Amino acid sequence: MFTTERGKIDVIAKGARRSKSHLGGRLQFTNEVLLGMHRGRNLDVVVSADTQEAHWERIVQPERFTAANMIAELIDSFCEPDLPLPEVYALLTGALRAIGASENPIGLLPRFSLRLLHVLGLAPPTDSCIRCGKALSGGAWVDAEQGGFAGEECRAAWKEALWLESADLENIRALALRRGTGAAARAAPRAAEAVAALVAGHLGKRPKTVMHAAELAAPSA
């Protein structure tokens, strides 16, 4: 569960899988619910759940379901248990609504990823080199190891790196903005690749759903 008051928590819902359980349908993946719980010995126990908003019916479609799983995996990977993160909760619910209404939900993932990094204080500077701090002029190299973008003079020559043109950097800046402040919803191909590299750099691995998302997003032959 990801909650408004405690952030990420582990709970148990006894009997939720039984056909006559009043909890089963309300605890579907992505549903927003008002929970009643009591403290158990090791895990909190769900005793009641009232549906506040049901996203399930809108995301039961391959691309939308993959996108919803992706954001769930990112939140699970980045967020510590029992740490209230109301901004992340608001970001999550907003993303689920956008995914449920989108014909290209996979395309929304770069913006969500950047906004999540921003809320968690991990967003990279987009106007200065992550290594030397000098202003970026024109394009930049993606430095996933340092979690940002490097100028031409700071690129480690022996490492492969993704080059971003100035337009790609502008796209990334717009993706990271709050809604209503000139924000972009969609990422250009290189910008999307750069965001995925930064996320993998922070986590030390590529999220499990990334490969599947890439397969779905790729044009069919």
Query: What was the pLDDT predicted at 143?
Result: 92
* pLDDT (average), residues 110-124: 94
121-178 pLDDT tens trace? 999 999 999 999 999 988 999 999 899 999 988 876 546 789 999 999 999 999 999 8
57-66 pLDDT tens trace? 899 899 999 9
> What pTM value is reported for the model?
0.87
| 57-61, 78-82, 216-220: range with lowest mean pLDDT | 216-220
* pLDDT (average), residues 186-196: 94
> Which runs of E-coded beta strand occur in the chain?
2-3, 7-8, 11-12, 32-39, 44-53, 140-143, 148-150, 163-164
In the chain, what are the domains? Answer: 1-54 (2.40.50.140), 58-221 (1.20.1440.120)
Q: Rounded to an integer, what distance in angstroms lies between the CA atom of residue 194 and that of residue 58? A: 29
| 14-28, 83-97, 134-148, 187-201: range with lowest mean pLDDT | 14-28
Kindly tell me if the per-residue pLDDT of 183 is higher than 80. yes
Q: Rounded to an integer, what distance in angstroms lies between the CA atom of residue 127 and that of residue 58? A: 38
Query: What was the pLDDT predicted at 216?
Result: 53
Of 121, 117, 155, the C-alpha closest to 136 is 155
Side chain identity at 201, as an amino acid letter? G
* pLDDT (average), residues 189-193: 94
Two structure tokens written together for 79: 């967020």
Kindly tell me if the per-residue pLDDT of 221 is higher than 50. no
In contact, 123 and 201? CB cutoff 8 Å: no
Query: What was the pLDDT predicted at 157?
Result: 55
14-27 pLDDT tens trace? 888 887 777 877 88
CA 185 to chain centre: 14
Greatest Cα-to-Cα distance within the chain, rounded to the nearest angstrom: 65
